[in-house]
Amino acid sequence: MSSHVGPTFPGTRVGAARVAVTRAASPVGQVLACELARAGDRMVGLDDRSGTAGDVDWRLTDIVSPSVVTALGDIDALVHLAYDADLARALAEPPAARRARLIREMQTLTTAAAAAGVAHLVVITSAMVFGAREDNPVPLPEDAARVADDAEGIVADLVEVEHLVAVARDVHPGLRVTSVRPAALVGPQVDTIISRHFEAPRLLTLRGRTPAWQFCHIEDLATAVSMVIRGELGDVVGVGADGSLTQQEVEEISGMRHVELAPAAAEGAAERLHRLGVIPVPATDLAYVCYPWVVSTDSLTARGWYPAYDNPTCLSILLETVSGRHAVMSRRVERRDAAIGAAGAASAAVAVAATAALMRRRRKR
């Protein structure tokens, strides 16, 4: 298992760029701002509040307001953190309002960046936009045409953002637009459907399905974004630790056991619970812990970038981050509620399946 090994790409920047980061006061945004400043960039933080990151020129602004163009007047590159890995905040917002806000942000920032003469727009989403499928190659090439077919939830929101990224390339040919898609993010205060999967007492697996686990530390995301800003990479850039972990390796590292369900049973139970409002995420989110969505990092590694954190180290950090928390299908629960029985400890789907089995037994008596 490797540890953080320091600088991950060679060379020095010729001349400092002025780089703005949206949501710069968020945990991921602050790491981005700090790393870009360390690389020699002059940092501007765009948020509705000031953060604690040093060497940042804080410009308090509403990124859905056309007035944001004023804050971009002297900016060379704009990094838009469309996905800030804050599931609690995302779930606190009504789904329709959340998607409308993300769309308005993307449309406003694209128009403002072009009007202000920003040379490069970097949009951070997630490798989840490729979709998690049983037949996904491992790894997925960065230029893979396939996208997630989720109709609702955070992944579907990010697919809409990616659609607007593609539109921006056509509408604003003078604005270089790059989509950065990291693997499952880990780091302090990161909260995602993946991190909450590891808050369950057991790990849910689907019978006959083979997941592949890839992680991305937020510090590695930051160094990757630094290279994207200063290098001529492709339209889509994948970021993550090298390779992937098998389910068995994940269980060995975590010390957690799994519980296995038939795919139809798990998906049907999760769908019913979501429809009833018991769990906050759609049933389609099960795919991201049961099917592979490992992303290639060829664009970055070809330029000499290499992640400082490998997958086992990332998983260990994730486990430390979620220690003491308990979740069932991404729904946070109290410790006393998390102990839902040996058969049903992994997820809400397991809970429903176990309850149904008990009811059947009672009816037979």
Domain map (residue ranges) of the chain: 18-358
Give just the sign of the alpha carbon dihedral 127, 129, 134, 140: negative
Whether this model's pTM surpasses 0.85:
yes
Residues in the chain, overall count: 365
Burial group, residue 5, by CB count within 10 angstroms (0-12, 13-18, 19+): exposed
Listed as ranges, residues in the chain with pLDDT below 50 are 1-14, 326-361
Whether the Cβ atoms of residue 204 and residue 197 lie closer than 8 Å to each other: yes
CATH code, residues 18-358: 3.40.50.720
pLDDT in tens, 68-88: 999 999 999 999 999 999 999
pLDDT score for 51? 85
pLDDT score for 325? 53
- Could you give the 3-state DSSP secondary structure of residue 117? coil
Of 70, 23, 77, 87, residue with least CA distance to 50: 23
pLDDT score for 133? 95
Whether the Cβ atoms of residue 204 and residue 349 lie closer than 8 Å to each other: yes
Residue 60: HSE in the Cβ half-sphere, 13 Å Cα cutoff: 4
Whether the Cβ atoms of residue 238 and residue 307 lie closer than 8 Å to each other: no
pLDDT in tens, 340-362: 322 233 344 444 444 444 444 45
Neighbours of 289 (CB within 10 A): 26
Q: Give the C-alpha separation, 296 to 308, whole Å.
A: 16
One-letter amino acid at 350 equals V
Q: Give the C-alpha separation, 118 to 175, whole Å.
A: 7
pLDDT score for 125? 98
pLDDT score for 225? 96
295: phi then psi, degrees, rounded to nearest 5:
-110, 145
Residue 17: HSE in the Cβ half-sphere, 13 Å Cα cutoff: 24
Q: Give the C-alpha separation, 264 to 252, whole Å.
A: 27
Question: Which residues, at least 6 apart from 11, have a Cβ–Cβ distance to it below 8 Å?
Answer: 304
DSSP letter for 7, please: -
Neighbours of 12 (CB within 10 A): 7
